[in-house]
Amino acid sequence: MRVVADIPNPHVKITLHSYNGKYILKLEKANLEQIYKIEETEVMGDEGVKALIDEEFIEGVLNRFQDMRDIFVSTVRRNG
């Protein structure tokens, strides 16, 4: 897997990888991560992937991170 770009964002760490005909968009916040796999044929190169990362997408990603954290904290409280 090859790192194509580190995409600056004040809220999450975003890394774009290329592997086996796919772009792998990896977003990280604290100890959580989300990965999106995008066929290279679905976008117009690296810039096409970067264009997908708009404010609405980041807002959804941040909401999902919050949900992931809440679910994890709940299971730790129940089972820890």
pLDDT digits (tens, 9 = 90+) for 17-58: 999 999 999 999 999 999 999 999 999 999 999 999 999 999
Contact 29, 21 (CB under 8 A): no
What is the Cα gyration radius of the chain?
A: 14
Amino acid symbol at 15: T
Q: Which DSSP helix (H) or strand (E) runs through 25?
A: strand 22-29
Global confidence as pTM:
0.92
Q: What's the pLDDT score for residue 80?
A: 81
